[in-house]
Structure 1
Amino acid sequence: MFLTGLAALAVVPTLPTAARDLDGVALFPLVAGCFVAASLLGGVLGGHWADRSGAHRPLAAGMVLAVATLLVSAASTSIWQLAAGRFLDGLAGGMVAVSINAAIGQAYPDRLRARALALMSACWIVPSLVGPPLAGLVAGWWSWRAVFFGLAVLTLVPALVVVALLRGRSWPPAPAPSADRPRSPALMVATAVSAGAALGQYGVSGWDMRHLLFVAGGLVLLVVFAPRLLPPGTWRAGRGLPATVLLRGLGSGVFFTLEAFVPLLLVTDRGAPPVLIGLAFTGAAVAWAAASWAQSRLLEDRPRHHLVVAGALVLATAVVIAVAGTLSAMPAFVAASAMVVAAIGMGMLAPSLTVLSLSHSPADRQGYASGAMQTAQNLGQITVLGLSSALLNACLGAGSTDSAGYAAAFGLLLAPCLLSTLLAARTRIT
């Protein structure tokens, strides 16, 4: 998990530079969105595989695939190869994350599971602090390809050790699939949603008939299949769990889009060094952790839906800062600071929504609620990023300057922020 976190957090700051060098800035949303779309599919695939054959097989397969996909991305000669690498990386990441949780459940006694899960969460702390700035330094002094190759070499030996240990250890047999847990339909739905998301991300990169057809095909798949992964009433913000799930998607979409487009703005329009982008990611990680701690300790007596409102307003503030950062008179660190402010908002918003989702669900449905929240997060990231990408490319296609296009794309993010503020009361516990 430490290596998975290091690879995930170190790679992201280098992607704008890679897209620029591969002449694929217009397709950058596809590169960013492929990982999210594939992680949804990888999570479902890994969970079903772990239930059928034990968690050791999808975990080993995910580790091997993680090394292979780093090599695919490092050797990219086109933006399409980089997008394929990111898709495989999302598939591996989803499989590993779900398999680790399943492995803890299958291999550890009850008294050790909570400690094992806490250790998995702690494994992300150091990567969030050192991964992005270190990757920025390597990309600035050497090459973005060196980041991918270095991570592949770093991951190879531990991955082989894990695979060898899993093969040599006896594993408790997985329980037989129960009749009330359909597996193939859920996997088909996840595949359709991932395909729809990928088609949509490619379609918004242009405005000719071919791109519009891809957008239409992606929308059809999402409209038909995505509701099957979410609670009934999510799209109309039904009170309780549906509204909570919807707001998780909206907030995550805003944060993910800022996290994707602010570095792209800094690289393509401001010529900022990669190390600045890495520091922005590290600052965002620290700010998220600090805000999360504050809401759990200093603000624990406040009603949770009030914290949702506060988090959404802080996200809106981050959007305004990002818009201001597109002005040529503003220094580059202004735009970079939008990521840190947005992380403060998410540090308040995301844990509060998670607590509300569990409070709205009976004990035997909390797993379903957690899965719905994760699915909404992925769908929100893909949808909001796609809409902002479409607006950015439309502005650039109409002859607008890069700064004006980014300002329009950022300005669009105010809509989900304000909608979250208005709908927060529907998440409260009655």
Structure 2
Amino acid sequence: MRRSTGDEAANDEIESSEAESIEAESTEYSLAAAAEAYASAEASAHESAVHEASAHQVTDAAAPVVATSDRLPDAKGPLSAPYTWLSIGMFATIFLAAFEAMAVTTIMPLVVRDLDGESMFALAFAVPLAAGIIGMVLAGNWTDRSGPLPSLITAAALFVVGLVIAGTATDMTVFIIGRFVHGLSGAAVIVPLYVIVARAYPEALRARVFAGFAAAWVIPSIVGPALAGLVAETFSWHWVFLGVIVIVVPAAAMMVPPILRVRDLVQGDASVPWSIGRVGWATLTAVAALAVSLSKELDDPWRWIAAGVGIAVAAFAARPLLPPGTLRAARGMPATVAVKFVVAGAFFGSEVYLPYLFIENYGMSPSLAGVVLTGAGLTWAAASWLQGRLTHRVSDTRAVEIGAFTLVLALVVVLAVAAFTLPPVIAFVAWALAGASMGFMYPRFSVSVLAQSKRDEQGFNSAALTISESLGASIALAVTALVSSAIGAGAFTADFAVTVAVAIVGVVIAGRVRPPGVPRG
């Protein structure tokens, strides 16, 4: 994505402040780490936010006297006037996007049963993840060109359309179309929100706004699964989608008046070109990932050939979106992005099957099955807080090594539960450990990448982290579906065996996160 040029010192200053805000999310506001698990657009949004903040700062340097309409007045906090409705609207939007991401995991077993779509279970998760890759890249480019308002309104409208399609679907194909629209817009809507923070809020308030965003992701991870299960049991799974519309519309509407008061939020930079190449590579990556998901419909040996080709094409298409050396896990930043790809695939590839396992094999209700996800959300947040207090005692590399190894242990236990029908409480404890492992290492991915990035590379490299996460989860889901389809009986065991194997790769390459020349510690 193109960056504005101009006063170099001003550019460096604002980019440095944005980097400090992101680092604050991973340390002082350590709950932000949990946000990364459920927000596949956060880092890409940061890329666009850095660009917009830089452009604003350069303009200010050239003209010290700034009109009052260029930025909202200073205030004591994000909830103080004139930021009140804007902050509440942004929080509500992110909260709802996060709630949907968590809720779907709990109710999907009911959806596929009701729509006779068991064979498309994994595809229903892979489609929105792949669509999100396109959405975050496209929204970032559009926001750079036209300001955040057009992309925000469009993404919010599409989000509602996706909810309506999914919530009223009477067959699995229509439902997945809704999930595509939902995933595309859900990732895209986050990008302009981050730009709004960079343009409308003073620097002193940005870290507090980001902390609020983090809470908006964490809270749904704790209450979302059980609440979604309760709604599905009491009414219908349809209302998990349709009920959200009642809140999405007013949340978007309350943001518009304060946005219109800030000139920078309704003006873009027409000189910024459309990044056709970047959007094209993102689209090809997403299509290739979906092709892997669809390959299971073919007969042997073509399913394996098609899957292999799809993975190869996805890897090739993702190269321009990732730091050089990522595919071979080159030491330092490329390996950091690669490890996140692997652990995201292992964790999220397992997460979607856990409620399904409990509902199908143990006869649990959706709300009770969702409790296992709630436990992981709590331990994720707790471990994130803990690692924030151990920043000076545990290096980024060591934290990633500990997290990757612990994740393997947790997934091995989950595999044993599926293979030997062990008591489900064992899986609950194991998944809580898995959540803790992710919370302990996830913040360090962002910290490590930013520490190794030049200022003019921070946005691209941060976006690469999120793209790798979405791609890893999407491909892992596709491969688990392919393997379980080929095996038939014992499908859950096969699914978790795949994710254990993926997690082991993470352990093998975790040590390569340490940059060249940095002593081990």
TM-score, L = length of structure 2: 0.76
Cα distance in structure 2, aligned partners of 1:166 and 1:356: 34
Report the Cα offset of residue 47 of structure 1: 0.5
Between stretches 46-55 and 152-161, larger displacement belongs to: 152-161
Which residue identity is paired with 1:303? S
Aligned twin of 1:198: 290
Question: What SS is found at the alignment partner of 2:228?
Answer: helix
User: Which residue, 142, 165, 183 being the options, matches 1:90?
Assistant: 183
Report the Cα offset of residue 427 of structure 1: 1.2
Report the Cα offset of residue 182 of structure 1: 6.6
Report the Cα offset of residue 51 of structure 1: 0.5
Aligned twin of 1:297: 389
Aligned twin of 2:414: 322
8 Å Cα contact 1:60/1:166 also seen in 2: no
Aligned twin of 1:10: 103
Which residue identity is paired with 2:344? S
8 Å Cα contact 2:347/2:499 also seen in 1: no
8 Å Cα contact 2:358/2:364 also seen in 1: yes
Cα distance in structure 1, aligned partners of 2:127 and 2:104: 14
| Residue 353 (1) aligns with residue 445 (2) | yes
Aligned residues: 422
Aligned twin of 2:149: 56
8 Å Cα contact 1:319/1:414 also seen in 2: yes
| Residue 418 (1) aligns with residue 504 (2) | yes
Aligned twin of 2:377: 285
Q: In the TM superposition, what are the counterparts of 1:60-71 in structure 2 within 5 Å? A: 60-71=153-164
Aligned twin of 2:364: 272
Report the Cα offset of residue 219 of structure 1: 3.5
Cα distance in structure 1, aligned partners of 2:323 and 2:274: 17
Aligned twin of 2:130: 37
Cα distance in structure 2, aligned partners of 1:389 and 1:185: 31
Aligned twin of 1:310: 402
Which residue identity is paired with 1:414? V
Q: 1:168 to 1:105 in 2, by over 3 A?
A: closer
User: Which residue, 241, 247, 250 being the options, matches 1:154?
Assistant: 247
| Residue 207 (1) aligns with residue 207 (2) | no
Between stretches 335-344 and 214-223, larger displacement belongs to: 214-223
Question: What SS is found at the alignment partner of 1:23?
Answer: coil
Question: What SS is found at the alignment partner of 1:413?
Answer: helix
Report the Cα offset of residue 309 of structure 1: 1.4
Report the Cα offset of residue 89 of structure 1: 0.9
1:336-366 CA deviation, whole Å, 9 max, x = no partner?
4443221111111211222222222223322
Cα distance in structure 1, aligned partners of 2:275 and 2:480: 34
8 Å Cα contact 1:262/1:336 also seen in 2: no
8 Å Cα contact 1:311/1:349 also seen in 2: yes
8 Å Cα contact 1:277/1:336 also seen in 2: no
Which structure 2 segments of 5+ residues have no match?
Answer: 1-93
Report the Cα offset of residue 209 of structure 1: 7.2
Question: What SS is found at the alignment partner of 2:129?
Answer: helix
Q: In the TM superposition, what are the counterparts of 1:25-424 in structure 2 within 5 Å? A: 25-162=118-255, 166=259, 170=263, 171-178=265-272, 183-207=275-299, 215=307, 218-219=310-311, 221-298=313-390, 300-327=392-419, 329-396=421-488, 401=489, 404-424=490-510
Cα distance in structure 2, aligned partners of 1:175 and 1:77: 43
1:285-321 CA deviation, whole Å, 9 max, x = no partner?
1111111111111464122212211111111112112
Cα distance in structure 1, aligned partners of 2:457 and 2:496: 37
Report the Cα offset of residue 256 of structure 1: 0.5
Identity within the alignment, %: 33
Q: 1:21 to 1:338 in 2, by over 3 A?
A: farther
8 Å Cα contact 2:95/2:220 also seen in 1: yes
Q: 1:311 to 1:216 in 2, by over 3 A?
A: closer
8 Å Cα contact 2:132/2:187 also seen in 1: yes
Report the Cα offset of residue 107 of structure 1: 2.3
Report the Cα offset of residue 328 of structure 1: 5.5
Which residue identity is paired with 2:510? A
Report the Cα offset of residue 116 of structure 1: 2.3
Question: What SS is found at the alignment partner of 2:362?
Answer: coil
Which residue identity is paired with 2:158? L
Q: 1:338 to 1:392 in 2, by over 3 A?
A: farther
Which structure 1 segments of 5+ residues have no match?
Answer: none
Report the Cα offset of residue 223 of structure 1: 3.5
8 Å Cα contact 1:258/1:339 also seen in 2: no
Query: Rg bigger for which structure?
Result: 2
Q: 1:106 to 1:204 in 2, by over 3 A?
A: farther
Which residue identity is paired with 1:413? T
8 Å Cα contact 1:104/1:113 also seen in 2: yes
